[in-house]
Amino acid sequence: MNIGEFARLGGITTRMLRHYDALGLLVPAHVDPHTARRSYELAQLPTLNRLLALKGLGFHLDEIGPLLSEGVDPAELHGMLRLREAELERQVRQQRHTLDRVKARLRLIEQETQMTVETKHLEPITLAALSADAPDASRQQTGAVVQALFEQVTDAMETAGADRTTPIARYQPSSDASTVQVIAGYALAGHEVPGLHDHLLPAAEVAAVVHHGPMSTISTAYQELAQWAESTERTPTTLTWREYYLEAAGDDQSNWIVEVQLEI
């Protein structure tokens, strides 16, 4: 078949086929000595598919030639794809975390005189996490529980060499409000982490404010959200909270940035 027909079957342009020919990655089955027109055989499609798959996985063209010459079977490509998928997911999580931090900084600038409440929709997210019950919803009780949980989660993830991005905590009262379930963890990075559980945080509409400073003063953010919910008549029956720790490294909490969210 001519180069145009082969390009259509491969889903690429004729210009790219000429480029691959020039690099020696996919040489036409025949080149007319008089017109220099290229012709390809249907049997060359698997080579083109592997070339495009390897390119999509992030390999440079100078790396693809040796791989094609050695032969790459579907099982090997599938394994490479899984590794590439995990790497892209890690990059997406890191970029999302960076974007969240930038947005939080902008909101801090906007609320220099007064906290600004933002409402938004959160997609479901799975955490590699641990959970425990606190005897009540006070900061004294839940704070001690969440700190202990994060220490255990961090140790488990470091032992497993697992990737960590945004730490997230969720506080959900029991049906009779006698206890509070505390979940603490990190967005799950592909595979399960030994010693930790997969916790699915459901999709939710939330009202959120950004708190800048030590956790000892975070009650101001909670108060702002509670007052906003009451004034807008959006106070839920059960107060379920989330904390997204956007900047929370080190023992000095003076520059910590935490987004406090109320599920509404």
Instruction: Note the pLDDT tens digit of each residue in 144-157.
Output: 999 999 999 999 99
Angle at 198 (CA atoms; ends 194, 204), nearest 5 degrees: 155
Mean pLDDT of 109-134: 86
Model confidence over 246-264: pLDDT tens digits?
A: 988 888 888 899 999 999 9
- Assess contact for 39 and 21: CB atoms under 8 A: no
- Assess contact for 264 and 206: CB atoms under 8 A: yes
Residues found in the chain: 264
Give the CA count within 13 Å in the CB-facing half-sphere of 121.
2
What domains, with CATH codes, occur in the chain? 3-72 (1.10.1660.10), 115-263 (3.20.80.10)
> What mean pLDDT, rounded, does the chain reach?
88
Contacts of 78 (CB under 8 A, 6+ apart): none
Model confidence over 201-242: pLDDT tens digits?
A: 999 999 999 998 888 888 889 988 998 999 999 988 889 999
Residue 40: predicted pLDDT: 96
- Assess contact for 166 and 244: CB atoms under 8 A: yes
pLDDT confidence band for 178 (50 / 70 / 90): confident
How is residue 260 written in tokens? 């406090």
Rounded CA separation 209/206 (Å): 10
Model confidence over 38-93: pLDDT tens digits?
A: 999 999 998 898 898 888 888 888 888 887 877 767 777 777 777 777 777 777 87
Q: Which of 262, 166, 168, 247 is nearest to 213 (CA)?
A: 247
Rounded CA separation 124/119 (Å): 16
Angle at 157 (CA atoms; ends 153, 163), nearest 5 degrees: 125
Chain centroid to Cα 170, Å, comes to 18
For the full predicted model, state whether its pTM sits above 0.75.
no
